[in-house]
Chain A
Amino acid sequence: MMRPKAWVGLGLVGFVVLLGIVGPWLAPYGPIDQIEGANLVGPSSAHWLGTDEVNRDVLSRTLSGIRIDLLVVFLAVPVGAAVGVLVGLVTSWWNVTDVITQRVFDVVLAFPTLIFAIALSAFIGPGVWTIALVIVSLEVPVFGRLVRTSVRSVREMPYVEAAQVTGAGSWWVLRRHVLPNSLEPLTVQLAVSMSVAVFIEAAMSFLGIGVQAPHPSLGSLIKDGTTLMYDAPFLALGPLALVLALVLGLLLISQSLSEAHRD
């Protein structure tokens, strides 16, 4: 029943998630341990992904850095999505609250994400929680708008009108009809938003406003690798491959979800 695309996507995401969970036990070294005499050595049996300029094992740092991305993908995005869905459901039913909420969403979405991230990091300082907050405040309006479209179309449906005529209140209709019928577009958007979240983490850490040294995340590892791109191009490869795998997997899942809904 499921298409190969979905299996590949699930496989890629599952692989990265598994690495993130068991990674720290597999890691030969601690993420911030400095190893004597191993400065910028290339990939070898001792250091699969080589070591960096301050003698740290890149494989161990990568395995530990995945967790930050998992936190962002599987916690920040769902939280933002849940808040957005709730706000969208409740406010879009009544015209006054709908207009107000949509204007607020307009303003929030008017800031390009990365520029919003830079501004926010200046406000509360850089760090993991800043990344999470950026993602939550981006996803609330994204999901709020999506739910609004559903509310607006489902409330016109004959079966909703039939229920209303018999005496169903707004809350009844939202809970029993609107929410179940919006789940399909929401799951597709959830997968898309998760892949965007990986991007945001990576981009923020890349710009130095995400996870702070010496703690690793996939984004900060790529940034570290690129500063030494000409001397040690191998440094960024591992984390880059993992980011690609995660984003690609999530995109494939979202694509196969939306294709399945269309059929």
Chain B
Amino acid sequence: MLSYLLRRVPSALGVLFVASFLIFLMLRLIPGDPVDALAGQDATDESRQAIREELGLDEPFWSQYLSWIGGLFRLDLGQSYRIGGSVRELLANGALNTVVLAVTALLIAVTLALVTSLVAVIRDSRWLNAMLAGLNTLGLALPTFASGLLLVLLFAVVFPLLPSGGTPPDGYLARPDITVQYLLLPAICLALPVWAGLTRFLTESLRSQMRQPYVTTARAAGVSRRRLVIRHALPNALPSTVTVLGIQVGTLLGGAVLVEQIFTWPGLGSLIESAISGRDYPVVQVLLLLSVAVFVITQLLTDVLQAWLDPRIRIGGAR
């Protein structure tokens, strides 16, 4: 098990390193000089040079890259060009908001997907299946911003029950009831496509497991349908579902950018937009690398989880 994990780590690290280099290279190739943005239109050559030296932009490419990577290992993410503070502090606040939103959405999506697919397969009634399939296709077809707007229109404008945007004013822990109110709409909006994709996959794979001979064996021994689905088919459907979930996390990150914009949620998504338009390299490169890291770590975790769920990988061929 541990050796299985260790075999996966080098390739994950490899992806991260290649990505870090590509990100760094790409940002240096972007037309437009950050010095222009910082120094203003009528700066003298001397003051421009001073800014350049202060930011270390006069050094050769390789040494800039290496000092950035070196900094990352010491958790020194560099200084923001525009806002001035350290990138780490700038990120910390936004990261908290994004993580709270994304984790809530993920929990909602996974719980709902489990419940709906299990009920659909256990009941196996025609109208229920048709209804779920319709809902599902709608969930997949509705763009995130469209569902976001519909939610705001419905629950904040037409029926003003919930706030239309923003984070809880006193932090997440002060008043849980208020936190829930603020979190509900953006989290549902973000969860919707993930729920739809996951439910579709899980329902399909549960159905195909139910056609497997081992299920017939258990059925011929008198095991009830409910138990067949939950105790026999589900554990077999989970490993591949975990992989799909891992891919959906990428969708979630992209969707977060949109959802944060719609619900004026001050997270990393809004930060990355402003940082790119302001040519704030240190912020942009850390954010890009962070999103790659989240993806790579998710892949690693899903691989491990999959191995743990499947004894054929976990224990290996004893014979």
Contacts known (A103-B14, A110-B296, A240-B146); A123 close to B29, Cβ less than 8 A? yes
CB neighbours (8 Å) of A109 from chain B are 250
Contacts known (A103-B15, A203-B258, A229-B149); A251 close to B22, Cβ less than 8 A? no
* A195-B143 Cα distance, complex, nearest whole Å: 10
Quick check: which of B51-59, B88-96, B287-295 contacts chain A, the rest being far away? B287-295
Asked if B29 and A247 make an inter-chain contact with CB atoms under 8 angstroms apart, the answer reads no
| Smallest CB gap from A239: residue in B | B146
* A111-B253 Cα distance, complex, nearest whole Å: 10
With both chains docked as a complex, state the minimum distance between the C-beta of B271 and any C-beta of chain A, in angstroms.
11
CB neighbours (8 Å) of B143 from chain A are 199, 202-203, 243, 247
Quick check: which of A39-47, A53-61, A114-122 contacts chain B, the rest being far away? A114-122
- In this complex, the member of B141, B250, B273, B276 whose beta carbon has the largest number of chain A beta carbons within 10 angstroms is B141
* A106-B250 Cα distance, complex, nearest whole Å: 13
* A247-B146 Cα distance, complex, nearest whole Å: 12
Asked if B30 and A122 make an inter-chain contact with CB atoms under 8 angstroms apart, the answer reads yes
* A118-B15 Cα distance, complex, nearest whole Å: 20
Binding site for A on B (CB under 8 A): 11, 14-15, 18-19, 22-23, 26, 29-30, 137-138, 140-146, 149, 152-153, 157, 250-251, 253-255, 257-258, 261-262, 272-273, 276-277, 284, 287-288, 291-292, 295-296
| Smallest CB gap from A114: residue in B | B254
Asked if B295 and A203 make an inter-chain contact with CB atoms under 8 angstroms apart, the answer reads no
With both chains docked as a complex, state the minimum distance between the C-beta of A111 and any C-beta of chain B, in angstroms.
6
CB neighbours (8 Å) of A111 from chain B are 19, 288, 291-292, 295
Chain A residues 196 to 227 lying within 8 A of chain B, measured CB to CB, are 199, 202-203, 206-207, 222, 226
CB neighbours (8 Å) of A195 from chain B are 140-141
With both chains docked as a complex, state the minimum distance between the C-beta of B24 and any C-beta of chain A, in angstroms.
12
Contacts known (A103-B14, A107-B18, A110-B292); A118 close to B145, Cβ less than 8 A? no
Asked if B14 and A229 make an inter-chain contact with CB atoms under 8 angstroms apart, the answer reads no
Asked if B30 and A115 make an inter-chain contact with CB atoms under 8 angstroms apart, the answer reads no
| Smallest CB gap from A111: residue in B | B292
With both chains docked as a complex, state the minimum distance between the C-beta of A7 and any C-beta of chain B, in angstroms.
15
CB neighbours (8 Å) of B291 from chain A are 111-112, 115
| Smallest CB gap from A233: residue in B | B153
Complex interface bits, A220-263 against B, C-beta within 8 A gives 1, otherwise 0 = 00100010011001001000100110011001100100000000
A-B contact count (CB 8 A): 104
Asked if A118 and B258 make an inter-chain contact with CB atoms under 8 angstroms apart, the answer reads no
CB neighbours (8 Å) of A34 from chain B are none
With both chains docked as a complex, state the minimum distance between the C-beta of B256 and any C-beta of chain A, in angstroms.
9
| Smallest CB gap from B12: residue in A | A106
Contacts known (A118-B272, A233-B153, A248-B141); A113 close to B288, Cβ less than 8 A? no
* A222-B208 Cα distance, complex, nearest whole Å: 40
Contacts known (A103-B14, A123-B30, A236-B149); A112 close to B254, Cβ less than 8 A? yes
CB neighbours (8 Å) of A226 from chain B are 145, 149, 262
Asked if A107 and B257 make an inter-chain contact with CB atoms under 8 angstroms apart, the answer reads no
Complex interface bits, A44-87 against B, C-beta within 8 A gives 1, otherwise 0 = 00000000000000000000000000000000000000000000
CB neighbours (8 Å) of B144 from chain A are 203
With both chains docked as a complex, state the minimum distance between the C-beta of B133 and any C-beta of chain A, in angstroms.
9
Binding site for B on A (CB under 8 A): 103, 106-107, 109-115, 118-119, 121-123, 195, 199, 202-203, 206-207, 222, 226, 229-230, 233, 236, 240, 243-244, 247-248, 251-252, 255
Asked if B141 and A207 make an inter-chain contact with CB atoms under 8 angstroms apart, the answer reads no
CB neighbours (8 Å) of A222 from chain B are 145-146
CB neighbours (8 Å) of B251 from chain A are 112
* A256-B149 Cα distance, complex, nearest whole Å: 30
From B14, B141, B257, A247 is in contact (CB under 8 Å) with B141
* A103-B299 Cα distance, complex, nearest whole Å: 14
With both chains docked as a complex, state the minimum distance between the C-beta of B165 and any C-beta of chain A, in angstroms.
12
CB neighbours (8 Å) of B14 from chain A are 103
From B22, B145, B276, A206 is in contact (CB under 8 Å) with B145
With both chains docked as a complex, state the minimum distance between the C-beta of B273 and any C-beta of chain A, in angstroms.
7
With both chains docked as a complex, state the minimum distance between the C-beta of B160 and any C-beta of chain A, in angstroms.
12
* A183-B230 Cα distance, complex, nearest whole Å: 35
Asked if A106 and B15 make an inter-chain contact with CB atoms under 8 angstroms apart, the answer reads yes
Asked if B15 and A207 make an inter-chain contact with CB atoms under 8 angstroms apart, the answer reads no
From B11, B29, B253, B277, A115 is in contact (CB under 8 Å) with B253
Asked if A110 and B26 make an inter-chain contact with CB atoms under 8 angstroms apart, the answer reads no
Asked if B258 and A229 make an inter-chain contact with CB atoms under 8 angstroms apart, the answer reads no
* A119-B289 Cα distance, complex, nearest whole Å: 12
CB neighbours (8 Å) of B296 from chain A are 110
Asked if B141 and A202 make an inter-chain contact with CB atoms under 8 angstroms apart, the answer reads no
* A247-B143 Cα distance, complex, nearest whole Å: 9
| Smallest CB gap from A223: residue in B | B145
Asked if B292 and A203 make an inter-chain contact with CB atoms under 8 angstroms apart, the answer reads no
Contacts known (A207-B273, A230-B157); A202 close to B253, Cβ less than 8 A? no
With both chains docked as a complex, state the minimum distance between the C-beta of A123 and any C-beta of chain B, in angstroms.
5
From B30, B146, B253, A243 is in contact (CB under 8 Å) with B146
| Smallest CB gap from A218: residue in B | B143
Asked if A103 and B26 make an inter-chain contact with CB atoms under 8 angstroms apart, the answer reads no
Which 8 residue pairs of A and B lie closest in terms of their CB atoms, listed nearest first?
A: A114-B254, A112-B253, A112-B254, A248-B141, A247-B141, A122-B276, A110-B295, A110-B292
Contacts known (A112-B295, A123-B29, A226-B149); A251 close to B140, Cβ less than 8 A? yes
Asked if B146 and A207 make an inter-chain contact with CB atoms under 8 angstroms apart, the answer reads no
